[in-house]
Amino acid sequence: MEFFVENAGIIAALPLWVFLIITLGRNLAVYEDKKYTVWLTCISTFIGFIWSLFILFWTFGATEPFSQNMYWINVGALKLSVGWLIDNLTALMLLVVTSVSLLIQVYSHGYMNKDDGYHRFFAYLNLFNFSMLGLVLSSNLFQTYIFWELVGVSSYLLIGFWFRRPSAAHAATKAFIMNRIGDFGFLIGIIAFFYFSLQWWQNSGEIYLGFTALQPASEYVLSVAGPEIYFLIALAIFFGPIAKSAQFPLHTWLPDAMEGPTPISALIHAATMVAAGVYLIARAYPIFEASPDIMMTIAWVGAITALLTAIIAVTQNDIKKTLAYSTCSQLGYMVMAMGAGAMAAGMFHLTTHAYFKAMLFLCSGAVIHGLSDQQDMRYMGGLRKHMPVVAYTYLIGCLAISGLLLSGFWSKEKIFSGLYDAHHTALLVIALFVALLTAFYMFKSYFLTFEGEYRGHAHPHNSPKVMTIPLIILAVPSAIIGFVPIDKYLGYVSEHHESLLLPLISLLIAAGGVFLAKALYTKSVRPLKLLNMDTYYYWAIDNIFLPITETLAAFDKYVIDGIVNFIGAKKRFESWLLSQLQTGQMQTYLALLFAGLAGLMLVFVLIQWLWM
């Protein structure tokens, strides 16, 4: 077991090697057969999955985390390292990322088989996996930020994979820019935290910014900087997860990311990119836990995101956008739980969500594939007869995410219990209301897509086995993984043991959402479109941001540039005057010399005359 832990970096290195092989594949005969590309990709991820299982087994008997580091920058007092940290949190995330990624890669072979960019697609997939696995294994904040940026770059490539489509190019640019906003805050927070804690790291002998020593370092920064400055530092670090995990107000990039291929939607929205923000909160939890104010801020950001995006999801007719806003809402659940002190409950929901949301997105991809790229649920219906495997696996996903006895019920119940134990009554009420909305819009999507009569024009056809087998496999953990006590594995024990009232309430609320959706959407009733945050963002840009920037641009052009241009013109004029004296003729220079001497003599005579 120790071998796998001591060489855990190979898990991240494997997809990097495959990325390089595919990228250079024109000279290595890889492009001659698509099977080379898909087999290299799947084998590398499968090895990583098996490796992760051995690491998971090792953690059952481990008494303390394993960390292996090497210096990357060692200049004076600055000593920054790279390496890997293995503990329960790392082992869980490695298993989730590799297992979900493997099934998405198998599915992608069927979905992208006829695409001209097949090899490029799998190259990007491997780069993305390398970035995400490197982030999970990182042993310190400095290394985390490097892989954090790599995740952003690779997600930009994947979202904009069909870059010839203006909508895809726009979505990729939007995701990149909005994530840069969060990343800038994250970087400022890391620098500020390092600045205030540098002396502590020097005296402690610990790896700089290492996760294993964050708690005492955070206490030192709090004592040195004071509660107000510490709050700002922690808030700046939290800006990273706000953007990466699509929390309010930087959440609008995630629905637009649906412009990428559906397997990418599953990958980004399930176990990888958006999960990175939640994982960072869990990994840097000692920083946030030291400040009650930042914990409350995190909880309310999650609550607002969960509620707002659940309301928006109710109004959607696009099946992928419904799932996208659902992802934002479920991420809000996780962030809210962590802000309330139930970190392990948030990670528990991240794990269950990874499987059932990946399955839901892949099901939507199978539907879209079978309807010749139709995504509007108003032109679907009755597809259970044509796609039974897709319909039943999608139903399992709807039951799980709605909290109806399958995996999502158990992880949500832990979140509700965490809010109850922390006496966050308002947050608990919001969480229960969001549970009602979740059940409503998810079963709305199910009834509109798979029940009733077919309302479309394309002839529905079933998906190949390479696309349906991953759905069946994902359905298993989507149904039963909630029975695994993941929260206890991560060290969380709820005080809410005996009462069955809260689980019963959550079940009744979810069931109410299902019956409401059935009552409305088996009779073709459509709720009005209530909310679209992009509308408000664009209004603010057009009426506030653009006038300000245009004013500043005019000031810069006519005032700042005018001053600079005036100085330049003045210098050019002076240079022109002096250049008239530089003729290159010796007689001219001698004449000027004698004229100067004559002038000096005249001045001297005048001075003498005035003194006499």
Concatenating the DSSP letter of every residue in 274-296 gives: HHHHHHHHHHTHHHHHT-HHHHH
Q: Are 403 and 439 in contact (CB under 8 A)?
A: yes
The H or E element containing residue 107 is helix 88-111
Q: What's the CA gap between 533 and 172, in Å, rounded?
A: 18
* Cα 480–Cα 482–Cα 487 angle in degrees, nearest 5: 150
Alpha carbon distances (Å) from 415 to 270, 342, 612: 19, 7, 103
Q: What contacts 89, CB < 8 A, 6 or more positions away?
A: 279, 282, 283, 347, 490
Q: With a cut of 50, which residues of the chain have pLDDT below it? A: 496, 525, 527-530
The pLDDT, as a whole number, for residue 484 is 84
Task: Name which of 197, 192, 184 is nearest 231 in CA terms.
Answer: 192
pTM listed for this prediction: 0.81
Q: At what angle do helices 273-283 and 319-339 cross, to 10 degrees?
A: 0
* Cα 309–Cα 453–Cα 377 angle in degrees, nearest 5: 25
Q: Are 30 and 37 in contact (CB under 8 A)?
A: yes
Q: Are 362 and 467 in contact (CB under 8 A)?
A: yes
Task: Name which of 327, 332, 399, 391 is nearest 358 in CA terms.
Answer: 327
Q: What's the CA gap between 384 and 366, in Å, rounded?
A: 12
Q: What's the CA gap between 421 and 345, in Å, rounded?
A: 12
The pLDDT, as a whole number, for residue 530 is 47
Structure tokens at 612: 């006499």
Alpha carbon distances (Å) from 201 to 138, 142, 220: 18, 14, 10
* Environment class of 296 (CB within 10 Å of its CB; exposed 0-12, middle 13-18, buried 19+): middle
* Cα 365–Cα 266–Cα 242 angle in degrees, nearest 5: 140
Q: Which amino acid is at 529?
A: K
Structure tokens at 203: 């005296």
Q: What's the CA gap between 254 and 273, in Å, rounded?
A: 11
Q: What's the CA gap between 333 and 430, in Å, rounded?
A: 10
* Environment class of 227 (CB within 10 Å of its CB; exposed 0-12, middle 13-18, buried 19+): middle
The pLDDT, as a whole number, for residue 188 is 93
Q: Are 362 and 470 in contact (CB under 8 A)?
A: yes
